[in-house]
């Protein structure tokens, strides 16, 4: 007959071994341990440089001046009272606003056309989205070759169409240099608008249009009563993403105009690049970057707040 001590030993032999404190803690926090390396990497590659740049904006971090003396808000004052900085901000708002508006209108028109099934639709769509996969540097170089005189064909084609000689300096004369930048940007990023808006159009239930047709509603009335309300959130999403990217315009300007003539095509990004990496006033450029970040954050907050409130009717 088994004694109580024997029964206790048998139960102990059959029970699983107790986990150590470290193993038990690791099991409880296993999901956090999996993401910990990524969090540490993000902190090292983004948070630390961000904090360091904040420190640099308050000191004299200039390659032309020895030492790193504390200067307070002087770097921010230089940017605020710099007429080139103010002009770059105005130009950034103007170029990005006009470009995004044109891209939205063209993208919506193409999406409304391509939402219908017809022969060759897939091939046409494939060709339309090609500019999205081209580097902005290549886009800038291609449009430079097309517009720059005397070798670019643009002036020659316009001369033949208008019946008189056209000698426009697309990269040197105002306002044509702004037109050339907008045309290059619109050519590359209109497909972005088209893809997002087409996705929104295909999500609208077709029975709504069938019911509207039975009620005698024409195409224009159907657009304002059905398409526009249901497509509103996708429109706002496309405008938000595209505008946030457009305000960072740099690549095409660097290739096509180089910020010139003079400082006429200095956007905010190009101004910060010139001050920081050409003139080596790193502290002033860093202060300007923080001001631009604050301005961008305000715009983002307004757009995101409006986006979260947008609901289809």
pLDDT in tens, 174-204: 899 999 999 999 999 999 999 999 999 998 8
Task: Determine the Cα angle at 191 with ends 155 and 292, to 5°.
Answer: 90
**Rounded to two decimals, what is the model's pTM?**
0.83
pLDDT more than 70, % of the chain: 92
Mean pLDDT, rounded, for 197-226:
87
Residue 45 CB partners (closer than 8 Å, separation 6+): none
| Matching residue, tokens 């993208």 | 107
CA distances from 74 to 47, 60, 80, 81, 273 (A): 24, 9, 10, 10, 19
Could you give the domains of the chain? 82-139+184-309 (1.10.3720.10)
* Window from 9-13, 98-102, 130-134, 173-177 with minimum mean pLDDT: 9-13
Mean of all residue pLDDT scores within the chain: 86
């Amino acid at each position: 007959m088994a004694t109580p001590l024997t029964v206790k030993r048998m139960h102990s032999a059959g029970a699983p071994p107790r986990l150590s404190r470290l193993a038990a803690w690791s099991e409880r926090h296993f999901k956090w341990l999996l993401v910990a390396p990524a969090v540490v990497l993000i902190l090292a590659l983004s948070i630390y440089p961000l904090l360091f740049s904040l420190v640099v904006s308050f000191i004299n971090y200039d390659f032309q001046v020895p030492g790193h003396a504390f200067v307070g808000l002087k770097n921010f004052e230089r940017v605020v009272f710099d007429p080139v900085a103010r002009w770059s901000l105005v130009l950034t708002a103007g170029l990005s606003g006009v470009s995004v508006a044109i891209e939205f209108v063209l993208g919506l028109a193409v999406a409304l056309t391509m939402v219908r099934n017809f022969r060759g639709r897939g091939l046409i769509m494939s060709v339309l989205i090609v500019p999205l996969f081209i580097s902005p540097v290549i886009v800038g170089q291609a449009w430079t070759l097309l517009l720059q005189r005397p070798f670019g064909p643009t002036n020659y084609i316009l001369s033949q169409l208008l019946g008189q000689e056209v000698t426009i300096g697309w990269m040197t004369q105002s306002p044509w240099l702004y037109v050339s930048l907008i045309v290059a940007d619109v050519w590359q990023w209109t497909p972005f608008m088209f893809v997002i808006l087409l996705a929104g159009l295909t999500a609208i239930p077709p029975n709504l249009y069938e019911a509207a047709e039975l009620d005698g509603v024409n195409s224009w009335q159907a657009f304002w009563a059905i398409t526009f309300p249901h497509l509103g959130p996708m429109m706002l999403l496309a405008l938000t993403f595209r505008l946030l990217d457009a305000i960072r315009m740099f690549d095409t300007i660097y290739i096509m105009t180089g910020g010139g003539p003079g400082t006429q095509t200095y956007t905010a990004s190009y101004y910060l690049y010139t001050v920081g990496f050409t003139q080596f006033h790193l502290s002033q450029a860093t202060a300007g970057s923080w001001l631009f970040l604050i301005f961008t954050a305000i715009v983002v907050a307004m757009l995101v707040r409006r986006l979260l409130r947008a609901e289809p009717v």
